[in-house]
Amino acid sequence: MGRLLIFSAPSGSGKTTIVRRLMERFPRLEFSVSATSRPPRGEEVNGRDYHFMSPEKFRQLIDSQAFVEWEEVYLGTCYGTLRSEIESIWARGNVCVFDVDVVGGVRLKQIFGDRAMSFFIEAPSVDELRKRLVGRGTDSAESIEKRLAKASEEMLRAPEFDHIIVNDNLDRAVDEVALLVRRFIDR
Ligand code: ADP
Ligand code: 5GP
């Protein structure tokens, strides 16, 4: 039976960093590459970070029911999980790893139930979140404000996840997640 690991967090909490570290430890984890209607940013590579596409192409995929879930995460920018992506990961005998926004994470857990384990990654404070977003250096000041405005609303949904991980000390957070993942995939 195919399994899934879901990671959601307010942007800047360290979710991507944690997921990358985790994937180095568990060779059976395979990242589910989402589709997005936004253009690539920085070093992002098509097919590795996202399937980048035009808003028109994204719309076509919605119409052909290609998505398990999709969402307009930021105004004018859509992201979605492709059904075909999950199926090919399971066909290789691997565990799907999702990096999705909070609404998408709750939705995927509802769809897949016990086949999924969901994690909410939290920064210790909103101030720290701002520092991390500034320090990451990938977003404009406007984009950072947009992400922070969304964060407080997202944090209210943390209790809907199986596990809440406070990413204060990175090594400790990765160890905590790894222990839970080990139990889940060996179950
Ligand atoms: P997300 O995927 O949640 O948006 P990232 O993984 O990109 O967040 O992390 C945001 C920034 O914070 C990155 O520059 C990352 O190196 C840094 N970071 C991650 N975890 C920690 C931590 N525990 N302490 C300090 N900085 C961190
Ligand atoms: P970014 O533009 O920073 O890469 O991502 C913006 C947000 O979209 C992040 O919170 C990310 O988790 C979310 N996201 C990425 N892929 C998906 C997806 O397939 N579905 C949903 N619902 N959100 C996604």
CATH number at residue 81: 3.40.50.300
- Which atom of ligand 1 lies at the shortest distance from residue 15's CA? 3
What is the SS3 assignment for 134? helix
Range of the domain at 75: 4-186
Q: Give the residues surrounding ligand 2 with Cβ less than 6 Å away.
A: 11, 34, 69, 71, 73, 79-81, 99-101, 104
Q: Round to whole Å and give the CA distance between 134 and 144.
A: 8
What is the SS3 assignment for 95? strand
Q: For residue 71, which of 43, 22, 104, 44 has the smallest C-alpha distance?
A: 104
- % of the chain surpassing 90 pLDDT: 89
pLDDT at residue 13, rounded to an integer: 94
- Please state the domain count of the chain: 1
Secondary structure of the chain: what % helix, strand, coil (to 5)?
50, 25, 30
pLDDT at residue 1, rounded to an integer: 74
* Residues 4/95, Cβ–Cβ less than 8 Å: yes
- Which atom of ligand 2 lies at the shortest distance from residue 49's CA? 4
- Residue 68 — pLDDT band, cuts 50, 70, 90? very high
Report the separation in Å between the CA atom of 18 and the middle of ligand 1, taken as the mean of its atom positions.
8
Average pLDDT of the residues in 24-44: 94
pLDDT at residue 187, rounded to an integer: 80
pLDDT of 104 higher than 90: yes
pLDDT at residue 58, rounded to an integer: 98
Cβ of 8 below 6 Å from ligand 1:
no
113-137: pLDDT as tens digits: 999 999 999 999 999 999 999 999 9
Task: Enumerate long-range contacts of 44-48, CB under 8 Å, 24 or more apart.
Answer: none
> CA distances (Å), 102 to each of 57, 94, 135, in order?
24, 23, 23
pLDDT at residue 59, rounded to an integer: 97
